[in-house]
């Protein structure tokens, strides 16, 4: 299967992104009282706790990477900026084990990946008093990408190491999916139980989802990968290694905004849906200070799904020859549907037999976020966050599991902090953030940015710009109010 130039760039971009950009939420910054609308996607009640009367988010991008499939040897994130990255060349003895800046593979028996990027665009929130009741109202825009899979049999490890595959290999069932979507949301939060000694705050995000690209693969049964040697038509005395797939039952669905006829990507939504985030926070306020003594919140995030118009194929068969097959090798790639029809024709003798539907859904990455925050000194807070994925819809995306403990200093013009977190409750990471005026930068995994790693497979970086009244705060506003003694 041969790809044209623009197609190679498009799929190369997806490949690089899916191997090197896995994102998680800006958890440390989420606990900053001045984060406002910037972290509404992880805590719908957060804008209500903002000491400022308004908050404008210009943009932010959060990128995180963690891969147990591919790595780059002997470098740091800053080291990557100088370029010079090359692929492993086993035949010439160049691998990630003996050469710096080599893209190489772990080659575990199982592998997984998790992708999630969040580009937040212009957004704002405003605190209002309506009929003597306080509200926070906000609008936000996001462009999100996510994909995930866990515990996939690594049949590719033999190709990666240039060694001969087993005669028979059982490929166990697995699922993987991907979605690229735009999101426009309305945030509302307010206080309930006004006569309680604690503040009870409820928040909700109502979100309209526009699906741009999506795919899913569901390998339903154990598939048998088989190796045989066939005579070479050009040299009968030489055999050619040929690989087959047998006893397979695979369902594939896809939709894309890439225009294969024009060889360009277009913003052309292929799906739509709705989502909701719900949150509740209990706050023990300090009545004499512009702060709180203790906060506990519980949030249910990304409840919903996107309905796509696309194609769903089901491939059930035996003895599919997928290497050294002229049906695939000598054809220019034109579109995913052309490729699916070639496979369908090879299995069923009919190019449209595999097509089962023109619609499918992808569930949002539903999760539960639990947060504790304690004031431990003037403008100083100790925080704990736990994010647990909880997929509930068909073909749901799966958010990364994160546990995080952090310390932060929060002042009107500046904020900073440090954290320890675990990715998937296994890998320990060190992080930190700085909010200085309108600029916010941070990382949940700061060491790979500066420290050279033998096998660089993880990175995280957050950057954002926001506007808020650095010159004003609650105490100053109260001092300007008319006395009602």
Confidence of residue 289 (pLDDT cuts 50, 70, 90): low
341 has pLDDT over 60: yes
The upper half-sphere exposure of residue 111, i.e. CA atoms within 13 Å in the direction of its Cβ, equals 16
CB distance 357 to 322 below 8 Å: no
Write 414-418 long-range contacts (CB < 8 A, 24+).
415/32, 415/34, 417/28, 417/31, 417/32, 418/28
The Cβ of residue 47 has, within 10 Å, a number of other Cβ atoms equal to: 29
φ/ψ bin of 16: left (φ > 0), alpha (ψ from -120 to 50), beta (otherwise):
alpha
The Cβ of residue 238 has, within 10 Å, a number of other Cβ atoms equal to: 9
The Cβ of residue 412 has, within 10 Å, a number of other Cβ atoms equal to: 19
Q: Cα–Cα distance between 392 and 305 in angstroms, integer?
A: 10
Task: Give residue-wise pLDDT tens across range 46-99.
Answer: 999 999 999 999 999 987 767 788 889 999 888 888 888 899 999 899 999 999
What is the DSSP secondary structure assignment for residue 36, as one 8-state letter? G
386 has pLDDT over 50: yes
Q: Where are the domains of the chain?
A: 5-69+106-480
φ/ψ bin of 38: left (φ > 0), alpha (ψ from -120 to 50), beta (otherwise):
alpha
Task: Give residue-wise pLDDT tens across range 207-254.
Answer: 999 999 999 999 999 999 999 988 877 777 778 889 999 999 999 999
477 has pLDDT over 60: no
296 has pLDDT over 70: yes
Task: Give residue-wise pLDDT tens across range 164-215.
Answer: 999 999 999 999 999 999 999 999 999 999 889 999 999 999 999 999 999 9
Q: What is the pLDDT of residue 346?
A: 94
Q: Cα–Cα distance between 120 and 140 in angstroms, integer?
A: 8
Task: Give residue-wise pLDDT tens across range 206-219.
Answer: 999 999 999 999 99
Q: What is the pLDDT of residue 157?
A: 93
Four-point Cα dihedral 362, 2, 334, 20, nearest 10? 30
Q: Cα–Cα distance between 429 and 425 in angstroms, integer?
A: 11
Task: Give this prediction's pTM.
Answer: 0.88
Mean pLDDT of 460-477: 75
Q: What is the pLDDT of residue 18?
A: 39
Mean pLDDT of 103-121: 88
CB distance 308 to 228 below 8 Å: no
439 has pLDDT over 90: yes
């Amino acid at each position: 299967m041969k790809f044209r130039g623009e197609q190679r760039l498009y799929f190369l971009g997806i490949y690089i992104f899916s191997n090197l950009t896995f994102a998680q939420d800006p958890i440390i910054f989420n606990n900053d009282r001045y984060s406002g609308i910037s972290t509404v996607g992880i805590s719908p009640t957060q804008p209500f706790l903002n000491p400022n009367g308004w908050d404008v988010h210009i943009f932010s991008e959060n990128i995180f990477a963690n891969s147990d499939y591919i790595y780059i040897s002997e470098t740091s994130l800053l080291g990557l900026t100088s370029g010079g990255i090359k692929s492993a060349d086993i035949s010439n003895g160049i691998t990630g084990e003996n050469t710096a800046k080599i893209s190489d593979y772990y080659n575990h028996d199982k592998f997984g990946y998790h992708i999630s990027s969040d580009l937040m665009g212009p957004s704002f929130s405003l605190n209002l008093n309506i009929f003597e009741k306080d509200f926070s109202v906000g609008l936000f825009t996001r462009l999100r990408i996510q994909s995930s899979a866990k515990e996939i049999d690594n049949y590719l490890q033999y190709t990666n190491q240039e060694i001969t595959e087993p005669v028979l290999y059982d490929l166990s069932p697995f699922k993987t999916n991907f979605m690229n979507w735009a999101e426009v949301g309305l945030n509302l939060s307010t206080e309930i139980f006004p006569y309680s000694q604690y503040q009870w705050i409820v928040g909700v995000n109502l979100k309209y989802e526009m699906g741009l690209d999506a795919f899913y693969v569901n390998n339903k049964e154990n598939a048998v990968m088989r190796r045989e040697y066939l005579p070479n038509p050009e040299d009968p005395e030489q055999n050619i290694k040929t690989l087959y797939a047998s006893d397979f039952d695979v369902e594939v669905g896809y939709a894309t905004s890439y225009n294969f006829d024009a060889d360009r990507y277009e913003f052309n939504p292929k799906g739509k849906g709705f989502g909701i985030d719900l949150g509740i926070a209990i706050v023990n306020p300090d009545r004499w200070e512009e702060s709180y003594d203790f906060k506990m919140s519980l949030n249910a995030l990304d409840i919903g799904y996107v309905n796509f118009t696309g194609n769903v194929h089901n491939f059930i068969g035996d003895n599919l020859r997928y290497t050294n097959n002229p049906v695939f090798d000598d054809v220019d790639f034109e579109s995913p549907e052309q490729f699916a029809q070639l496979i369908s024709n090879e299995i069923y003798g009919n190019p449209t037999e595999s097509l089962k539907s023109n619609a499918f859904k992808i569930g949002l990455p539903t999760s539960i976020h639990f947060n504790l925050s304690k004031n431990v000194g003037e403008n100083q807070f100790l925080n704990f966050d736990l994010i647990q994925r909880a997929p509930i819809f068909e073909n749901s995306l799966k958010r990364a599991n994160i546990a995080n403990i952090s310390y932060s200093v929060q002042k009107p013009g500046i904020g900073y902090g440090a954290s320890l977190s675990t990715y998937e409750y296994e890998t320990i990471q060190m992080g930190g953030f700085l909010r200085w005026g309108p600029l916010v930068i941070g990382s949940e995994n700061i060491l790979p940015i500066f420290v050279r790693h033998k096998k660089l497979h993880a990175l995280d970086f957050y950057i954002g710009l926001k506007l808020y009244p650095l010159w004003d705060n609650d105490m100053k506003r109260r001092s300007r109010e008319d006395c009602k003694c």
